């Protein structure tokens, strides 16, 4: 069975549609920003409206343009500090958050399991209250979404999901910014997911319809929570964006042999791309293993994986600015 996520565009804002392209900034008339995210938590994109997610993408494009292209210095987070809790190691999440927060004038503080044990040496409630007294926000990369929910409940500062077992919202923001830059519009794109039914797929499902995007997903019969189709070529058929992720997440190493067997036939190759749309592109949140996607696709001109990785920085900066300040983008509001 092939599952398509489609949205009925019942309001004028979605029916009119909005497109933008970061590279040349084809923009409409400047509009007063009515979205206010200051003080909010970012636990899952399910909790945000389409306009609120669009605002974070707009702010990402604004910061990227002003800092990277114009060379401006924007100390928007001067005097702010960020606690970074990492139960799981990461290259892109750590580097993008640390360098981005510092670039905006703030001070990031990295905490590993050697420094802090969530709910072990100290209760989650006590940890949340201590962090609230010393930092302005916390980004936590954890095993359990329930730990994030508890931190958010007990803390008086914004809690940001850097990854959990259920969701990875900051990765999806980077993916959407990358696709917006490439296609100049998200509305009407078909996303073809080929791989595990994991936190990335969950986050796409929580947000794609808010932009009028369609979703086709293939996952193997391996006990995942949502079964859409078992045929990778069926999922890829007509897709604009081919997406996959690691087959073996941290904490699943003991399942490696079983998972590699279950994912036989799921490698993204040019054979997969042949049934996709003529303008197909490829995304992978990294790190990548060759069995997930071959070199011909991964290093092809259609692959957007490295711009996607860079955009982790601009989108997390936008998240921090939107949750901690009253800043409004200076760039005219893009057309989505």
The residue behind tokens 């100049």 is 184
Work out the number of other CB atoms within 10 angstroms of the CB of residue 274.
10
Q: Considering 285, 293, 309, 318, which one is annotated as catalytic?
A: 285
CA dist list (Å): 309 to 177, 273, 312, 314:
11, 22, 5, 10
- Crossing angle for the helix pair 145-154 and 124-134, nearest 10 degrees? 60
Structure tokens at 222: 């391996």
The answer to whether 88 and 143 are in contact (CB under 8 A) is: yes
User: How far is the C-alpha of 173 from the C-alpha of 176, rounded, in Å?
Assistant: 5
285 is catalytic: yes
Specify which residues 163 forms β-bridges with: 141
Among 33, 81, 26, CA closest to 324: 81
Q: Where are the beta strands (DSSP E) in the chain?
A: 81-86, 107-112, 137-141, 159-163, 190-194, 214-218, 241-244, 281-284
User: How far is the C-alpha of 35 from the C-alpha of 328, rounded, in Å?
Assistant: 9
Q: Which residues belong to the active site?
A: 285
């Amino acid at each position: 069975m092939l599952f398509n996520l489609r949205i009925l565009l019942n309001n004028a804002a979605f029916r009119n549609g909005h497109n933008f392209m970061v590279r040349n900034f084809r923009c409409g008339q400047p509009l007063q920003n009515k979205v206010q995210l200051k003080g909010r938590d970012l636990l899952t994109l399910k909790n945000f409206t389409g306009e609120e997610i669009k605002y974070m993408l707009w702010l990402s494009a604004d910061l990227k343009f002003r800092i990277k292209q114009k060379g401006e210095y924007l100390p928007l987070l001067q005097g702010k500090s960020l606690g970074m809790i990492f139960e799981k190691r990461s290259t892109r999440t750590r580097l993008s958050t640390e360098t981005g927060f510092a670039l905006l004038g703030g001070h990031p503080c990295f905490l590993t399991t050697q420094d802090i044990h969530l709910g072990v040496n100290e209760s989650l409630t006590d940890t949340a209250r201590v962090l609230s007294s010393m930092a302005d926000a916390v980004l936590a990369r954890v095993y359990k979404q329930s730990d994030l929910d508890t931190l958010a409940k007990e803390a008086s500062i914004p809690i940001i999901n850097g990854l959990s077992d259920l969701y990875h919202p900051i990765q999806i923001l980077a993916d959407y910014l990358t696709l917006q830059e490439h296609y100049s519009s998200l509305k009407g794109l078909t996303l073809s997911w080929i791989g595990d039914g994991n936190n990335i797929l969950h986050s796409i499902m929580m947000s794609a319809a808010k932009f009028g995007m369609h979703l086709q997903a293939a996952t193997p019969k391996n006990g995942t929570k949502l079964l859409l189709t078992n045929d990778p070529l069926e999922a890829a058929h007509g897709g604009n964006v081919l997406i996959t992720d690691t087959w073996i997440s941290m904490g699943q190493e003991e399942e490696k042999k079983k998972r590699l067997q279950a994912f036989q036939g799921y490698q993204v190759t040019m054979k997969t791309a042949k049934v996709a749309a003529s303008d197909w592109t490829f995304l992978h949140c990294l790190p990548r293993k060759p069995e997930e996607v071959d070199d011909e696709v991964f290093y092809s001109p259609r692959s957007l994986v490295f711009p996607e990785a860079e955009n982790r920085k601009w989108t997390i900066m936008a998240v921090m600015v939107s949750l901690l300040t009253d800043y409004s983008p200076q760039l005219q509001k893009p057309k989505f």
